[in-house]
Amino acid sequence: EAQVTQNPRYLITVTGKKLTVTCSQNMNHEYMSWYRQDPGLGLRQIYYSMNVEVTDKGDVPEGYKVSRKEKRNFPLILESPSPNQTSLYFCASSPRANEKLFFGSGTQLSVL
């Protein structure tokens, strides 16, 4: 089944403890992206990747890192999480940029 898989589904952590949210797609898509979703603010892009080893900042990149060493994986790294990063995170992919995105099921992160 074609899908975008994120893990974990739920995560509770404490301020400053490094964490990684994994994302994998099995559709051979070139483009991948991370969004966060907050009430009243909608979906905002954190980082995106046009292809392997090509990443760039989205609208709200501060406090996040990404890597794209393989085409299928695009992990989101929070080196030192803070409470304002408590949010619902979505990974998404598309065949190329400017095409319809396929979303994962989301990761609900709480930073205490």
Partner 1 sequence: GESVGLHLPTLSVQEGDNSIINCAYSNSASDYFIWYKQESGKGPQFIIDIRSNMDKRQGQRVTVLLNKTVKHLSLQIAATQPGDSAVYFCAENKNSGYALNFGKGTSLLVTP
Nearest to 19 by CA among 106, 90, 98, 82: 82
Q: Which stretch binds partner 1 (CB under 8 A): 19-27, 60-68, 72-80, 92-100?
A: 92-100
CB 100 within 8 A of CB 2: no
Q: Is 41 in the site for partner 1 (CB under 8 A)?
A: yes
Q: CA–CA distance from 14 to each of 9, 40, 95 (Å)? A: 17, 25, 36
Nearer to partner 1, 8 or 16 (CB): 8
Nearer to partner 1, 75 or 104 (CB): 104
Nearer to partner 1, 13 or 108 (CB): 108
CA atoms of 100 and 94, how far apart (whole Å): 6
CB 33 within 8 A of CB 101: yes
Q: Which of 53, 56, 70, 79 binds partner 1 (CB under 8 A)?
A: 56
Q: Is 82 in the site for partner 1 (CB under 8 A)?
A: no
Binding site for partner 1 (CB under 8 A): 4, 33, 35, 39-45, 48, 50, 56, 58-59, 90, 92, 97-98, 100-106
